[in-house]
Amino acid sequence: MDSEIDLEDFRLPESGILIETKTSRRRRRSKANWFIREPIPGPWIGRAARLSGQALRVALAVQHASAVERRDRIRLTPKWRDLFGINRRSVYRGLDCLEKAGLIKVDRSTGASPIVTILDWPAPKKE
C-alpha cells in the first residue's frame, strides 16, 4: 500500500470554477425594502406629528433623506417626496409648518429643490 499522497490529484482545474466568497453571498437590499435609519428624537417627531396637513410625512421624508445621505443638511429632491407619495405643493406647505415649529430651517431658491437643515429639538433658546 502506497502511503504517499499526490496533492495534484486534488487540485481543481483553474478555468470554469466559481469560488463563492462572502461578498458574493451577501444579500442586497431591494429598493422595495427600505427603512428609516437613525433614531429620530421622540420630541422632534412628536412635535411634527401635531402639525397640520402633510407635515408629518414631509418630516419623515426629510429624516429619511438625512439618514441616507448621512447629513443634517439635505436637498429635498423629487426622489424623496415621491418615495413618501407627497406632491410638490404639499411638500412646500409641510416645510413651512415644520420651519414655523422650529424643527427645520429651509433655504429656498427659484427653480431648485429646497435645502433643508434639521434643527435640534427643543430648539436652542435665543438670548
- Write out pLDDT tens, residues 38-82: 678 888 889 999 999 899 999 999 998 998 888 989 999 998 888
Single-letter code of the amino acid located at 19? I
Instruction: Report if pTM > 0.75.
Output: no
Beta bridge partners, 107, equal 115
Please name the amino acid found at residue 3.
S
For residue 89, pLDDT over 60 is answered with: yes
Question: Domain coordinates of the chain in residue numbers?
Answer: 39-118
Instruction: Enter the CATH code of domain 39-118.
Output: 1.10.10
Instruction: Look at residue 23 and tell me whether its pLDDT is greater than 60.
Output: no
Closest CA to 119 of 96, 101, 103, 95: 103
Give me the residues paired with residue 75 across strands: 115
Phi, psi (rounded to 5 degrees) for 117: -115, 125
C-beta neighbour count of 76 within 10 angstroms: 23
Give the per-residue pLDDT at 40.
81
Using 50, 70 and 90 to split pLDDT, how confident is the model at 20?
A: low
**What sign does the CA torsion over 104, 109, 110, 114 have?**
negative
